[in-house]
Structure 1
Amino acid sequence: MSNEGGVYSIPGQEFSRDTTYITTRITADGRDGFPVEPGRYRLVAARACPWANRTIIVRRLLGLDDVLSLGLTGPTHDKNSWTFDLDPDGLDPVLGIERIQEAYLARDPHYPRGITVPVIVDTTTGKVVTNDYAQMTLDLSTEWREHHRPGAPDLYPEHLRAEMDPIMRRIYTEVNNGVYRCGFAGSQEAYDDAYDRLWTALDWLEDRLATRRFLVGDTLTEADVRLFTTLVRFDAVYHGHFKCNRSKLTEMPVLWAYARDLFQTPGFGDTVDFDQIKAHYYVVHSDINPSGIVPKGPDLAGWTTPHGRESLGGRPFGDGTPPG
């Protein structure tokens, strides 16, 4: 694989994420031509990527392991594509391809946008179905419900959606994407604005979670999954590499306890690989870390220490059960 990375920070400009995705959906009624079928589709993700980490967590929480297979790319990629360098011979064992780019080009030989993960591929054709990560996890919770494990949590309960949706939008714009707006800012002004917005949101979350165990309701929801994948990368990557350095996560008592609570919940911490996370950011973003040096720290032992969040009540899985 070429080590030539892409350009992530454009001088003089603020970072603007391309949010145009392949919006085909896999649904129970198959209205887009892709009905839910056990064994037909393959989720391709990377443990390094926060957007992909979401899908790995949700798939595990819902018990879709035997219904939707999982292919994992390596933690680094070049400007063209993620590659299957963790697999024998560098080939995905189901799709038989070296790069996920091949599945994109099978769908559209002139695909004009970034080759992203997570992505769901139709194994009967080898073509990408969707890379719309935000809709993907919601559909796993709703459209795939018939195939959830017994005791699976309802991560997108109808009676909470009116409260959840604006919270998830704010988490996306200010936190999930906010750290990238800091890290890829091309001017001091763009960075300062992104930094202030990020910390305004993190202070809001610190206050919100001081009196409640989870973001919405008294059980785990999609909102918690979306926040977790940024928090778990914060001290290892975003604090230093992306210059989000007002505080470390470990210096924010509420968010640090909340993140540890989730990390120690089956389905969350067991999907996290800190070595892959650090390798991805520090190696791939060669324009902002030209040395390619991956830091040895921070000390990650604290993630398994007691968090005390049980005192706030709430039950992670409600009337259900943790994944096996």
Structure 2
Amino acid sequence: MSDDLAPTYTEKGKAFERDMSYIPDRILAGERSQDPHDATYGGRDDVQVWPVEPGRYRLVAAPACPWANRSLIVRELLGLTDVISVGKPGPTHDKRSWTFDRDPGGRDPVLGMERLQEAYLNRFPDYPKGITVPAMVDVETREVVTNDFPWITHDLYFEWRDHHRPGAPDLWPDDVRDEMETVMKRVFTEVNNGVYRCGFAGSQQAYDDAYDRLFTALDWLEERLADRRYLMGPTVTEADVRLFTTLVRFDPVYHGHFKCNRNKLSEMPNLWGYARDLFQTPGFGETVDFEQIKAHYYVVHTDINPSGIIPKGPDLAGWHAPHGRENL
């Protein structure tokens, strides 16, 4: 799929599978992760540890991409905007790389490059995989550090805590950590990735199976959010960030473009109210650019939408309507 520049097709007859192999490096506040629950990093030979240093890194994150959108939200929520700068590629790209075509002169003003691909090749001259966002780039060397999107937001919380704004939210509350991990895993496999399994299914059977899995999960979430304001209770967590970026794209893109059309998000009362609640929360809505989201999916996915025509709808005014969920 195009968000990470993998092929936008699935071999005929097969289900879509996401390649989750990324540059595994971490930016840490010490030699080990500051997260006591982090058992995945044990000094692996393939992991290089980079130091937390304000001003050293640039987060390259296209607003069009849901995985990159996560990092933009977390950066805002934690108040890291003056600590980690951000570069924003435009919504459309070719098979080579995301490009900075919306910046003056078509170059990122800090990194001085036209394509994010340059940062990858600066470090790995024979880099064989897709050029993905989000990516953390070392400004001085202009080399990519990591593009491992789940760990980027994790580490923004745990490793950069000395630089968080006063009153920053606890995105990884210890008292619900085990349950949150379970919820996030289901959200990722069935919803975040589920819409792509529908959109890039290689057969009718693969599509039907993906469709059923997606809406089973959405029904579960609709029920879960009936009596709680957020996924884990009364406060926003990382789980909400991860779900939001799919929900905010659902009606403009996934419902039609990816054939996830049993119903719209706006027809699921609890999920729709929850999504509006988050959208209206500082740190969420200002990172969303519906024009770029639609341009990305409808222009880049030429195998799904060969005409490149971008739909005018849906009406987005509802995102600003009262949600009433503060009563929960």
Does the alignment reach a TM-score above 0.5? yes
Distance (Å, rounded) in 1 between the aligned partners of 2:92 and 2:72: 18
SS at match of 2:209: helix
Q: Which of 154, 164, 174 is residue 190 of structure 2 equivalent to?
A: 174
Query: Is contact 1:44-1:71 (8 Å) kept?
Result: yes
Mark the CA change 1:200 to 1:308 in structure 2 (over 3 Å): closer, same or farther.
same
Distance (Å, rounded) in 2 between the aligned partners of 1:196 and 1:137: 30
> How far apart are residue 151 of structure 1 and its match?
1.1
Distance (Å, rounded) in 2 between the aligned partners of 1:68 and 1:129: 13
Pair 1:233-2:243 in alignment: no
AA partner of residue 246 (structure 1): R
> How far apart are residue 74 of structure 1 and its match?
0.1
Alignment of 1:7-26 (within 5 A): 7-26=8-27
Query: Is contact 2:8-2:200 (8 Å) kept?
Result: no
Q: Any idea what the Cα deviations from partners look like across 1:284-309, whole Å, max 9, x if unmatched? A: 00001000000000000000001110
Partner of 2:104: 88
Pair 1:123-2:139 in alignment: yes
> How far apart are residue 77 of structure 1 and its match?
0.9
> How far apart are residue 14 of structure 1 and its match?
1.0
Distance (Å, rounded) in 1 between the aligned partners of 2:119 and 2:265: 37
> How far apart are residue 13 of structure 1 and its match?
1.7
What stretches of structure 1 of length at least 5 have no aligned partner? Answer: 313-324
Distance (Å, rounded) in 2 between the aligned partners of 1:175 and 1:65: 29
Q: Which of 55, 59, 62 is residue 46 of structure 1 equivalent to?
A: 62
- Count of residue pairs brought into register by the alignment: 309
Distance (Å, rounded) in 2 between the aligned partners of 1:8 and 1:60: 34
Query: Is contact 2:119-2:143 (8 Å) kept?
Result: yes
Pair 1:193-2:209 in alignment: yes
Partner of 1:37: 53
Partner of 1:147: 163
Partner of 2:149: 133
Pair 1:27-2:43 in alignment: no
Alignment of 1:230-269 (within 5 A): 230-269=246-285
Quote the RMSD (CA, aligned, Å): 1.3
> How far apart are residue 241 of structure 1 and its match?
0.1
> How far apart are residue 225 of structure 1 and its match?
0.3
Q: Whose relative contact order is higher, 1 or 2, with alpha carbons under 8 Å and at least 6 apart?
A: 1
> How far apart are residue 6 of structure 1 and its match?
4.8
What stretches of structure 2 of length at least 5 have no aligned partner? Answer: 33-47
Query: Is contact 1:62-1:153 (8 Å) kept?
Result: yes
Identity of aligned residues (%): 73
SS at match of 1:43: strand
Q: Which stretches of structure 1, 4 residues or longer, exceed 6 Å deviation after superposition?
A: none
AA partner of residue 16 (structure 2): F
Partner of 2:327: 311
Q: Any idea what the Cα deviations from partners look like across 1:236-277, whole Å, max 9, x if unmatched? A: 000000000000001101100000000011111111000000
Q: Which of 169, 178, 181 is residue 165 of structure 1 equivalent to?
A: 181
| TM-score of the pair, normalised by structure 2 | 0.92
Query: Is contact 1:103-1:121 (8 Å) kept?
Result: yes
Pair 1:202-2:203 in alignment: no
Distance (Å, rounded) in 2 between the aligned partners of 1:227 and 1:33: 29
